[in-house]
Structure 1
Amino acid sequence: MTRASTPPILLQLQTAESLSTQATALRSLKNETIGHDQRKETWVRNGIIPILSKVLVSRQPTPQSSGLNGATKDIEDPGSHGDADEACLQAIIILGSLAQGGAAFLAPILASGVLSTLLTILSTPDCPSSFVLPILRTLNNIADRLPLQSQQHWPKDTRLADLLFSNEHIGCLSRIIGRDYDTHNDLAAIELATALIGKLCTEEAHKAVLADCGVLDALAVKVASFVVAQGFVLPGAETHVHESGALGSLPAPAPPTAKLAPILRAITVIIEHSKWRAEHFLSSPGIVTVFPKQMPDFAPSDIKKGPWGSTYFSGSAVPRHAGASPLEYLLPSVPLSPGKATPSAANFPPLGPHGSSHRRHSQSFPTPFSIFEAPASDEDENAVVPWLLYIVRAENGMARLMAARLATVLFRLGLTKKHRVSMFCYLLIPILIRMLDKNYETANVDGVQYGGLVPSTERLREEAPAVLATLVIDDQELQKHAVEGEAIKRLSQLLKETYNPVPENRRPMWHAEGDQTFDDSDTLPVECKLGQAGYSPIHCHVMRYRENILKALAALVPFKDEYRKSVCEAGVVPYIIDSLKPCSDDPSGDTASPKNTAADGNPTPTLLAACGAARMLTRSVSVLRTSLIDAGVATPLFVLIRHPDIEVQIAATSVICNLALDFSPMKEAIISAEILPVLCEHAHSSNTKLRIESLWALKHVAYNSTNDVKIKIIEGLEPGWIKEVITQDPTTALAKRGMDEEMENGAGGGMNRANSAGEQVDLLNPVEDSQGRDEDSKMADSLPPSKMSLEMFLPDVTRRRKLALHGDIDQSTQARQDDIAVQEQTFDLLRNLICGQGASEMIDHLFKEIGQDVVLDALADKLRPRTIHIPNRRDSTSQKPLQVPTEILVAVTYVIIHLAAGLPWHRQLLVSHRDLLRYLIGYFNHAQRDVRTNCVWVVINLTYEDDSSDRDGCRERAFKLRSIGVIDRLATLEDDPDLDVRERTKTAQHLVNSLTHA
């Protein structure tokens, strides 16, 4: 069936001879399309998006205005500029309306390139104010629907984010967010711009750009305006507003109608996972202005006046404690945990800054603090933290949740005082658990819709588990309070409910003439073809809800077996296993109906969260042997390990690591299911995380397995690959890291390198100002009339360079740690290959396949002491010793222990090697007790007499050890603080002495 003829409005647009005619036609088209998805589909197929793109392109400033059909007009009508703006405005509104049609309309919009034109218009200094809100609404409409089309894929579609956060367009965000709350339009524009950041900013590169280009500082000023409006500016802040780094004046207060939640969300997504960006936010001019750093005070009698008028401190001057932030007094007192208080401490702290001082020695075994305790070793905490906690108590709805999320992120990044743990236990956790209740929002709704396609009540319920997960992870005290608050019971019930079919109101689009109407769709250009219908908003909400619940359950149970058993008793394990089933790759199904049952599968983010929950449960032997086996945990994991997404492969492999442990009944299933070849293949992956997890799993499989399984692992990994890994020098990278640390501390002369933004950064003086970079502190865009200048939102050179440098150091340090971990796991695998039954045969096989000299030389090289030359110092011969990573030392010495437990000729090889034992001697007094213990075990194994036939060999090895100074080294360990080291030392001394004195 042929397609219908061109509609009259479209003909009118194509043949319009004046801008006013074009504007009229577009206005009619707008009225035709808004609220009518069928008409939108027809218009897209008829080519309306390219026409809208041309209209928008014509709005871009040029020396002369172009005519509609390519002719240039030398003389414009007086009203032509107004007509052009009207036509452009109507085109923007129509584009936003098309985006509201659903995910299917995103494909032609993204393919047309019209978004780049929209952002160009928004970024121009002369962008009409009437365009700003429609453009921002259109961009938000598209951002809301991007997850609907890409929910099952990973990573997400970042084309819009790449455009918005590019150097070309990101300045418009600073300009818009930097406006004062003068009018309703300004308020709406600020909230729409911040909402875009919250929806689109998921990539690390985008977060770094937003911090570097002043958007984060602009958001900080908005936070400051809320602080001013609430009257929480610290006393005396007015006297510091003109100091370096401050705004120069207090920002105007935010109006009552302004929303705080979008601001806090945008800040959180930018700074999470980066301590440097978080510190960048805390040191921004807006925060420094309202929350200046409190300086120690001195008594007047301590300040003396010199004979020339200068002042100085007396010899007995002691700074008086500045006291807790005034905001602390707005927070409730919290009790110390039972049994933790000292005899002189009350259950509730006094209303003042004094109190007993305690430290949390580790995150795993925390010691609680009373509210005002501030250990001397704690860094100064910014007043933002108590202000956020006050917001958590005073506000409700999304503002409360976002304040809790930001406070949690700062806590996880180590930017809060340690005593906050106690406050989080008694303040944040009960509120977050309460948010899991179905009736929570009915009593606590703030009456505000925060954008997106899901009601704010559902959005709040969806995100609360994720905040709870971030808060309690790795902290046993927080986990204890959450479990006692019945978090596991509530989360388990909620996970079950995510599998209940969800009623869906949306219906497939109906066509009067059936599917034959557009039989020629294959011949249409991409900007005229609709994409897949995508998933419904409620479906994506349920999937994200399920994902966050799984994250919360995983975060609650990593340390306590009783918590893992509580999860099993809640009957939720089968639902966790169901969450390991992926969605079908066939997009042709009906995506309009609910797809949240176990048979429908899960998108990639949910799979990752389910793997995390399963991994935590596999830490329990009893759970692994009962509930997980009964639920069939291995079957979906064996599918996921072959998943096309590499992040899913990594997550599934991390679970298989625990399933492959020697006590696990799943170990034989892993071997029989032909998973070993997959693990060996993944060990060769270019992705370092996948390599580490695969080697870790192979290490567990190899332990106590038969030799044929071990040989299969060696063949799968390939001897040449093993040789390449173990012969790499781990200290080459560490030498570079040592150089970076020296440079960061300002030692030596100058040295430049490129940062992540491609700029040259002086590593030796990373935070020094440079007059040659003054132009970097300015932006080309001009700011509309405002009380504050745009320049204040672009970080000064010092802060920008510090941010870029630390970002680069974080990335390079992580890469080096990953390389070390790969080598560590490889040596651990060799250790497990040559231990247990048939160990001697495996040692011979390893020597044959890799090379006897290669293995021994690699072990010796890891023990070799190293130094590095420090360049650019006055003393050109300065040398710095480099320490071999402790992880490598432990792994290597374990391999030597097992070689020393082999046949007599294996032991003789170790003793006769020119360097190995000589280098080993240098580690008998290593700071790590495992290294010291292993060194002693090597001596024991080399001198232990298996049978009488080896007595002469043992004596010869004992004399060799004595000759290189082992007896003296053992003597230094007789009083070692570790009992195991002392006991092993006695055994080694006895063996060596009995053989050499016989």
Structure 2
Amino acid sequence: MAQSQGPDVVVRLRNCQNPTETAAALRNIKNEIIGHVKKKELYISAGILQFLVAICATSWDDQPSSSSSRSLSSIDETRLLALQLISSFAQGGAPFLKPLSESSAIDAVFAYISPHKGPPELVQAALSALLNVADAAATVKPSECIDTAWLADEAFLNPPRTRIDLFADLLAPQQSTQATERQIHDVALLITKLCRNEQHQSILAESDVLDNLAANIAGVVVQMGYVVPGAEVWGQSNCLASCIPRPAPSDANLCVLLEAISCVVGESRFASYKFLHCPAIMAIFPNLEFDPGSEVRATFKSLQLAGLGDAHSQRLSAMDYILPTVPVPRTKYGVPNISTYPPLGPKPSPFWDRANGKFTASTASKAPSIWSASRLDTGFTVDMGAEEMESPAVPWLIHLVRARQGREKLAAASLLSCLCKSGFVGRQRETSIGTLVIPPLLSLLDDMDGSVAQEVASVDRQVAEMWEIIELIPLVLGRLATDSEILQKAACDANAIKAISKLFKGSYEPLPDVSSLQAWSPTPEMPDGNPISDAGTFCRLGACGQFPLLIHRTKVRESCLKAIGALAARRDEYRKGFVEQDVLPFVTESLNHIPEEPVMTKERGDADAPIRPLEDAPENPSYGLNPASVIIASCHVIRTFSRSVSIVRTSLLDNAVGVPLYKLMRHRSLEIQIAATSAICNLVTEVAPMRDDLAKYGLMGILCEHAQSQNASLRLNALWALKHFVNGIPSRLKKSCFDCLGSGWLVKLVCDDTEDEAVFGKTDKHMTDDLDEEMEDQPTDSWRTGSGSYRSRTTDQARLFRHIDSRLSALREAEKNPLRKARADDLAVQEQGLDFIRNLIGGGESSMSSTNEVADATAMIDYIFQEIGSDRLFFILLSKLTTKVLHGFQHHRRSVGADVSESATRLLTPNPKIVSAAIMILVHISGSLPRYRQMIIAQQDLLKQLLEQFNVKDKDVRLALCYLVLNLTWHDDGEDATGPRQRIHELKKLGFYSKLESLEAEDAELDERARALYIMEELRRKADSDATARLELDFQARAFVEAVREHETLSHRAAGEVTIGETSSQPTNLPNGEDGDLGSDEFAAVVVRTDRI
């Protein structure tokens, strides 16, 4: 009876004669299926979705629209019920996504999100249905195709821009009603659920969605009374007064708006800058310097005299006065700093006078207020060379973190972390964030710990919100702490290491037995879990989703791994803190797609880790599946921990991280291959004990294969790993690695500069007269306000908006231009390729004597010359030192009364990192036998270009040159004395001697100059009276002194662990040997490159 009820109702539905009968039947079905998953499945199998899609597809012109009437027409009511039924089916979870997709029901729902057609009830029903579909997509297993990413593509990319424009229209500020506020809330919530990758963030940031979200935020700020005093006056003088929005309703949901903007902004500098300079945000948060008055200045002077800070250390806006004082430790110069100052004077009333519709800064007393607009500099002047002031939105967000609770506190911190990561929060603000933001976040995490129920199959709304807060806190904390030692220290001082470690380890608690939780289905299933049915695919349910508790724990794993990677990025003590919390066994387990119970270090045997399948294996119901995001995050943690030599030699070895990383390098996902190859880089250095075991597995072959990949990131990481791998291995293995990589491919990697002209040509091809017009006095129209195009009134206003537009264009170009990115990738690959050649020559086995090391280097030089060719190698090195002149096509620039034709020419100066890497190859060659030194001296064009590099500001370049001069002038015991004399004469004739004198004389440090003078006098005293011998020693002394000075500077920097983007040169033999002894005739300065990433 029950099984035939669904088909019978669907048959009767098809036989309805008019919309009224159809609406009545649909209403009965809706009442029947709400809360009954099995009945929903029954109606799906009966084919009801096809009928609902047909109703939704009814042309808008078939019946008159009822958008202007109070009650819905019969056809609109039928459509509304059809949308509500689709929404109800979507609430059934992941199994219903497949029939909804196959029947085109989701596309039918998207057709109703337009605010310009039909009544708002239909728009709201469509948005509710999409939210339910998004919730269902979040529960699918990682192997399914119909997931959140698929739905996001449907919403934002297919068809391009059309649906995004509709979302922007729904978010546009308009007359506030309950319906419009609900639509804004649902669209913002939908963006929060779907916007996850850079492509979606980019297209949303480029559209009006970001501007309209910012305008809604501005309305909430106005309603809260936090508009900067003087904003209205400043807006009137800068054509932005009309952009100050009306106050939002008192029940406006600030939290969902902040979360949506955080998702759109992400880590994009372009999107962050655009948000901070949206017309509505600029109108309520203008950058106005604030004069606090004489009484407040006197108080600041007292703070300064008390040693609490320098009152003139920064420019304060009015918004800074809502934050408390945060004293900062003294700097190395003994000058303390205060990042913010306390609110002094009478407390201001809300800035927006709702009764009069104006801004006011009056207080309860009649005394002059420090918020008086007369104390604000409302005039605008632009200093294009000065650093831009921090937006008042930043202290406002910090204030929200302190003042709000729960989800709103976290949402404000999330947006603040995005601005921090993008670099639009001043460094002087870090102490405030470390004191006022990070401790409340960790306190919020403590409040949630242990208070959440452990339901497996279903959770209520309150528990789901608690879970989301727990999932987001480590993510926000990690984003805040990235690249900031101050915030990393603040988090660790607030016990973040223990809190994050506990949360992470808790995510691997096994689930209870879930076999009894599988619901009974009236439809028999095949072995693969799909129901047996002869109907179409839109009548069959898809695979079951994951349990909510398992999804929650998987998200916690990912967010905690990202937080661990961020907190342990710089300081070794923080890494050891996490190691002491026993997180490494759980990190190692996170490298597996199918995790099991983590094996603690003390329980792990000496045997190698068992080889477990990467994918396509049965899921462990107690631990679920680790998606790609978790695996990539765990690879990043391994890479971070491997920056510590002690952890590489102990903890990482004990937890056998090498085996799973080796397997992941063969993963079918390119992103996982890149992450695994990056993590392996520091595990194949000479100090890593697992390098030999990985080599036995065939690591060298995989790295050489990845180094020939078409993907630049994979190619870069593979070359970086190979550079470390060849350091300290026998010459036979070096030759084998060189042959495996291929001399032709290596030459292509290090000298492929042919794309420079192509990049320049393609860039100029897109240049039009509009770019040239930016140099004229007319203002640009591309920066728009909320009420239309900006129209210039004054020169300062034109400069303001032209400056904003120029910055946006520059940031967009830096982020989105594929040619620029390709050029940056190419330079990074070239640097690692040159370093690979450098380490092939140097870096012999540690057990070698100095004589054998020179012989090994000589053999490798001969082999490289044989495979590549000496002339070709020197030509490649010369090209790295030469400034390129790129000639573009002619274009026209309109000027006043003339049409000027110009030829686009660009000078491409050598990159300092490439120059340093090229010179160090010469250092290694010259550190071998005298005949190679003579070979370098014979390269006159190369030496002339080397001489030009003495003017480079980069210290690494000057250090490399000093090493090179030292090696070229070296005198071996068995060498004829005429050789060094000739080389010294040639270098002095070219001008190297005078360059070294300049380096010594112009050193700013007096003690360094005195030490250099002392060493040179000692060398002269010991020298023979022969003038040439004295010249030789004098030349060597100058090179030596400068090399030691530069090396000590780098050594101080390299004393800590080197992070991504930094390099360190670590000489295996310093020029003075040990304890300043210069007596080793067999010495040659050989510097291998082992910079940890």
Contact 2:339 2:429 in 1 (8 A): no
Name the CA shift for 1:686/1:45 in 2 (closer, same or farther; >3 Å). Answer: farther
Instruction: For 1:392-411, list aligned pairs within 5 A.
Output: 392-411=401-420
Structure-1 separation of matches of 2:944 and 2:427: 45
Contact 1:703 1:832 in 2 (8 A): yes
Structure-1 separation of matches of 2:153 and 2:580: 46
Name the CA shift for 1:801/1:909 in 2 (closer, same or farther; >3 Å). Answer: closer
Q: Partner amino acid for 2:98?
A: A
> 1:567: Cα distance to partner?
1.3
Name the CA shift for 1:588/1:763 in 2 (closer, same or farther; >3 Å). Answer: same
> 1:82: Cα distance to partner?
2.1
> 1:946: Cα distance to partner?
2.7
Superimposed CA distance per residue, residues 610-634 of structure 1 (whole angstroms, 9 cap, x where no aligned partner): 1122222111122221122111111
Contact 1:769 1:798 in 2 (8 A): no
Give the secondary-structure state (helix, strand or coil) at the position aligned to 1:948. Answer: coil
Instruction: For 1:844-993, list aligned pairs within 5 A.
Output: 844-868=862-886, 881-913=907-939, 915-975=941-1001, 977=1003, 993=1028
Structure-2 separation of matches of 1:982 and 1:108: 80
Q: Partner amino acid for 2:725?
A: V
Higher relative contact order (CA 8 A, sep 6+): 1
Aligned residue among 119, 122, 129 for 1:131: 122
Q: Partner amino acid for 1:545?
A: V
Give the secondary-structure state (helix, strand or coil) at the position aligned to 2:766. Answer: strand
Report the counterpart of residue 198 of structure 2 in structure 1: 204
Name the CA shift for 1:456/1:567 in 2 (closer, same or farther; >3 Å). Answer: same
> 1:396: Cα distance to partner?
0.3
Name the CA shift for 1:161/1:346 in 2 (closer, same or farther; >3 Å). Answer: closer
TM-score normalised by L of structure 1: 0.82
Contact 2:683 2:691 in 1 (8 A): yes
Report the counterpart of residue 363 of structure 1 in structure 2: none
Name the CA shift for 1:589/1:930 in 2 (closer, same or farther; >3 Å). Answer: closer
> 1:696: Cα distance to partner?
0.4
Superimposed CA distance per residue, residues 839-881 of structure 1 (whole angstroms, 9 cap, x where no aligned partner): 2111222222223322121111111233445866879689764
Instruction: For 1:21-170, list aligned pairs within 5 A.
Output: 21-58=21-58, 60-62=59-61, 64=62, 82-123=73-114, 125-149=116-140, 151=142, 157-165=148-156, 166-170=160-164
Q: Partner amino acid for 2:179?
A: N
Superimposed CA distance per residue, residues 161-202 of structure 1 (whole angstroms, 9 cap, x where no aligned partner): 233223112222222222457333322221111011111112
Instruction: For 1:380-419, list aligned pairs within 5 A.
Output: 380-419=389-428
Give the secondary-structure state (helix, strand or coil) at the position aligned to 1:415. Answer: coil
Contact 1:924 1:936 in 2 (8 A): no
> 1:831: Cα distance to partner?
0.4
Instruction: For 1:728-877, list aligned pairs within 5 A.
Output: 728-729=752-753, 732=756, 736=760, 753=766, 762-765=770-773, 803=808, 806-812=811-817, 813-835=820-842, 836=844, 837=853, 838-868=856-886
Contact 1:176 1:193 in 2 (8 A): yes
> 1:85: Cα distance to partner?
1.3
Q: Partner amino acid for 1:383?
A: P
Q: Partner amino acid for 2:439?
A: P
Report the counterpart of residue 330 of structure 1 in structure 2: 322
Report the counterpart of residue 633 of structure 2 in structure 1: 609
Contact 1:247 1:286 in 2 (8 A): no
Instruction: For 1:333-348, list aligned pairs within 5 A.
Output: 333-337=325-329, 342=334
Report the counterpart of residue 1069 of structure 2 in structure 1: none
- Aligned CA-pair RMSD: 4.2
Structure-2 separation of matches of 1:291 and 1:266: 20
Name the CA shift for 1:438/1:840 in 2 (closer, same or farther; >3 Å). Answer: same
Q: Partner amino acid for 2:553?
A: V
Give the secondary-structure state (helix, strand or coil) at the position aligned to 2:437. Answer: helix
Structure-1 separation of matches of 2:776 and 2:616: 55
Superimposed CA distance per residue, residues 334-380 of structure 1 (whole angstroms, 9 cap, x where no aligned partner): 12226779579899967679xxxxxxxxxxxxxxxxxxxxx996521
Structure-2 separation of matches of 1:662 and 1:709: 14
Report the counterpart of residue 287 of structure 1 in structure 2: 281
Contact 1:123 1:171 in 2 (8 A): no
Name the CA shift for 1:4/1:690 in 2 (closer, same or farther; >3 Å). Answer: farther
Comparing 17-26 with 949-958, which one deviates more in the overlay? 949-958
> 1:43: Cα distance to partner?
2.8
Structure-2 separation of matches of 1:633 and 1:575: 11
Superimposed CA distance per residue, residues 796-836 of structure 1 (whole angstroms, 9 cap, x where no aligned partner): 99978864663133333333221100000000000011113
Structure-2 separation of matches of 1:13 and 1:65: 20
Structure-2 separation of matches of 1:276 and 1:666: 42
Contact 2:887 2:906 in 1 (8 A): yes
Structure-1 separation of matches of 2:504 and 2:680: 23
Contact 1:152 1:604 in 2 (8 A): no
Give the secondary-structure state (helix, strand or coil) at the position aligned to 2:73. Answer: helix
Structure-2 separation of matches of 1:203 and 1:439: 28
Aligned residue among 477, 487, 490 for 1:481: 490
Give the secondary-structure state (helix, strand or coil) at the position aligned to 2:474. Answer: helix
Contact 1:936 1:988 in 2 (8 A): no
Superimposed CA distance per residue, residues 406-453 of structure 1 (whole angstroms, 9 cap, x where no aligned partner): 12222232223332111112111111111221547979xxxxx99989
Structure-2 separation of matches of 1:590 and 1:128: 47
Contact 1:180 1:252 in 2 (8 A): no
Report the counterpart of residue 469 of structure 1 in structure 2: 478
Structure-2 separation of matches of 1:885 and 1:572: 40
Instruction: For 1:246-285, list aligned pairs within 5 A.
Output: 246=240, 248=242, 250-285=244-279
Aligned residue among 154, 177, 180 for 1:186: 180
- 1:493 maps onto 2:502 in alignment: yes
Give the secondary-structure state (helix, strand or coil) at the position aligned to 1:915. Answer: helix
Contact 2:323 2:340 in 1 (8 A): no
Report the counterpart of residue 589 of structure 2 in structure 1: 578
Report the counterpart of residue 431 of structure 1 in structure 2: 440
Structure-2 separation of matches of 1:943 and 1:953: 9
Structure-2 separation of matches of 1:297 and 1:431: 31
Q: Partner amino acid for 1:532?
A: A
Name the CA shift for 1:570/1:232 in 2 (closer, same or farther; >3 Å). Answer: same
Comparing 393-402 with 140-149, which one deviates more in the overlay? 140-149
Structure 2, unmatched stretches of 5+, are 294-311, 346-382, 453-457, 595-612, 791-800, 845-852, 894-899, 1034-1093
Structure-2 separation of matches of 1:297 and 1:625: 58
Give the secondary-structure state (helix, strand or coil) at the position aligned to 1:149. Answer: coil
Name the CA shift for 1:412/1:866 in 2 (closer, same or farther; >3 Å). Answer: same
Name the CA shift for 1:859/1:340 in 2 (closer, same or farther; >3 Å). Answer: closer
Structure-2 separation of matches of 1:65 and 1:435: 53
Report the counterpart of residue 537 of structure 1 in structure 2: 548
> 1:950: Cα distance to partner?
4.9
Contact 2:189 2:256 in 1 (8 A): yes
Structure-2 separation of matches of 1:805 and 1:17: 62
Structure 1, unmatched stretches of 5+, are 67-77, 300-319, 354-374, 444-448, 741-750, 755-759, 779-787
Report the counterpart of residue 994 of structure 1 in structure 2: 1029
Name the CA shift for 1:561/1:790 in 2 (closer, same or farther; >3 Å). Answer: same
